[in-house]
């Protein structure tokens, strides 16, 4: 599967109010391996960045004055994204700007040319409810080195996003089933192991582990305002008994 990890930097926070894209970073991954076939584009937005935005990315109008306009790079960008599975952190923000820029030059929105769009912020909120899920927070939590990130940069952030995504989804490979015959290093077929010959011990959780588990459940309950499935089911069971 071909994935593109994408990030943008902009002159401000509102595409609807005239802010524009100034930088685009795309990192390509094929079958969960980085290919090095990336895209890094600076764009002349035709306007200055807001002061607060400039503090975030540090990209000045003087630096951007000789860079291409979005219209000059749009077709190459769309061709690079075509049929890819695009991954973005807080996708509505970046897509809002990209689709605005594309609409201005009468080009189709991103979703019409890509295979799918995944928002890792949505993923992270489901996996870590109630916790901070910014890119920096996730890098810290998932042990991705972001020590070089003093200012935001589209390519650097896309690279960090790719590393973070791999760690966030690391267990997914174990869920994939290979229906073909197992083989060894020489390509010879290996007989399936009969697991019925093993007796697996059942190890019960200790009181300390049970208490820690209950504490995590209570934290999730608090984050979801008591709407967790197990608490709802538990309450219904108690009501039916009484």
Specify whether 85 is catalytic.
no
160 and 77 in one domain? yes
In a domain, 179, yes or no: no
Q: Which domain holds residue 237?
A: 207-241
In a domain, 197, yes or no: no
pLDDT tens, position by position, for the chain (242 residues)?
A: 999 999 999 999 999 999 999 999 999 999 999 999 999 999 999 999 999 999 989 999 999 999 999 999 999 999 999 999 999 999 999 999 999 999 999 999 999 999 999 999 999 999 999 999 999 999 999 999 888 766 678 999 999 999 999 999 986 543 334 445 555 555 566 555 565 666 767 788 888 888 888 877 777 777 766 667 766 766 666 666 55
In a domain, 217, yes or no: yes
97 and 22 in one domain? yes
For the chain, give the secondary structure using H, E and C. Answer: CEEEEEEEEECCCCCCCCCCEEEEEEEEEECCEECCCCEEEECCCCCCCCHHHHHHHCCCHHHHCCCCCHHHHHHHHHHHHCCCEEEECCHHHHHHHHHHHHHHCCCCCHHHCCCEEEEHHHHHHHHCCCCCCCHHHHHHHCCCCCCCCCCCCHHHHHHHHHHHHHHHCHHHHHHCCCCCCCECCCCCECCCCCHHHCCCCCCCCCHHHHHHHHHHHHHHHHHCCCCCHHHHHHHHHHHHHC
In a domain, 33, yes or no: yes
Active-site position among 50, 85, 89, 152: 152
């Amino acid at each position: 599967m071909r994935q593109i990890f994408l990030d943008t930097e902009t002159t401000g926070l509102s595409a609807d109010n005239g802010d524009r894209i100034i930088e685009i970073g795309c990192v390509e991954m094929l079958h969960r391996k980085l290919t090095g076939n990336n895209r890094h584009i600076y764009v002349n937005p035709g306007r200055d960045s807001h002061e607060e935005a400039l503090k975030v990315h540090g990209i000045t109008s003087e630096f951007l004055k000789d860079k291409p306009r979005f219209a000059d790079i749009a077709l190459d960008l769309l061709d690079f994204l075509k049929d890819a599975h695009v991954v973005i952190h807080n996708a509505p923000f970046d897509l809002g700007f990209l689709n605005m820029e594309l609409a201005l030059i009468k080009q189709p929105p991103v979703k019409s040319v890509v295979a799918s769009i995944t928002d890792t912020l949505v993923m992270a909120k489901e996996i870590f409810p109630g916790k901070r899920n910014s890119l920096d927070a996730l890098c810290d939590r998932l042990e991705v080195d972001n020590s070089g990130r003093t200012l935001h940069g589209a390519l650097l952030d896309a690279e960090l996003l790719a590393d973070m995504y791999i760690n966030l989804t690391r267990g997914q490979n174990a869920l994939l089933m290979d229906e073909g015959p197992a083989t060894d290093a020489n390509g010879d077929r290996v007989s399936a192991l009969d697991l019925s010959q093993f007796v697996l011990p059942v190890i019960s959780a200790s009181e300390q582990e049970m208490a820690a588990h209950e504490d995590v459940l209570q934290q999730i309950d608090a984050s979801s305002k008591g709407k967790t499935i197990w608490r709802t089911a538990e309450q219904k069971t108690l009501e039916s008994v009484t």
